[in-house]
A = this chain, B = another copy of it.
């Protein structure tokens, strides 16, 4: 199976993208709703939770892991890749590759949670590949609560977005990374506020594309992945809001099963 974990429900945008790009493959999802959000927690805590989530998915039979949370990916992906003997994908590298390909001016904007931006991971990965590029980043800690409230078209959300995005717009970026899996749900509000001609990079789509290419070139691994049975959606806490976001993301009701990853 393909295992996907996230701090909560945001990573369902990744599960949806994988489902569409690789139909027939079986997925197991884990959303850590009992400890969500990760974005304002310390690196040490996020690493410990990410390790537990990975172990949970492996115990469920996952042979490939996708870290569908930019925050977890930004501080824990190197460590998980060292510690676990399976291919581990994450949402950051594919988004970085796409941003490098999309930008002509070399001026790239990035938004994310406080922990993601503090890690400097996008800046590091982009300038490693092309030292001439400039990265302008902004932590947007209120966007996750606004999305989870379903305030996707409210005047307050637009004002808060304007406050976050205006400094990046002034930098005249031509490419803009949505560095959190919740943000694609705000795409239509973000585009006019960052500039109509700016390329938005959605990490959910990029990681699905990157996994599909990997499986194309590794038929042995692809062949070993299960195509039988239903996809499973585990969460460490079941709430009405989570069920509602799941329904919104997938366009159909999703059965959430309760499981905890903490040891």
Contacts and interface: CB of A to CB of B under 8 A. Distances in A.
Interface of A: 33-35, 40-42, 44-45, 114, 141-142, 145-146, 148-149, 151, 155-156, 159-160, 163, 236-239, 241, 262
Given A142-B142, A142-B146, 10 more contacts: A33-B41, A34-B35, A34-B41, A34-B45, A35-B35, A41-B237, A41-B239, A114-B241, A155-B159, A262-B262
Interface centre among A40, A146, A156, A262 (most CB of B within 10 A): A40
A117 B163 CA distance: 31
B160 A241 contact: no
Contacts of A236: 45
A42 B141 contact: no
24 contacts: A34-B35, A34-B41, A34-B45, A35-B35, A40-B148, A40-B239, A40-B241, A41-B237, A41-B239, A42-B238, A42-B239, A44-B237, A45-B237, A114-B241, A141-B145, A141-B149, A142-B142, A142-B145, A142-B149, A142-B151, A145-B145, A155-B159, A156-B156, A262-B262
Nearest to A145: B145
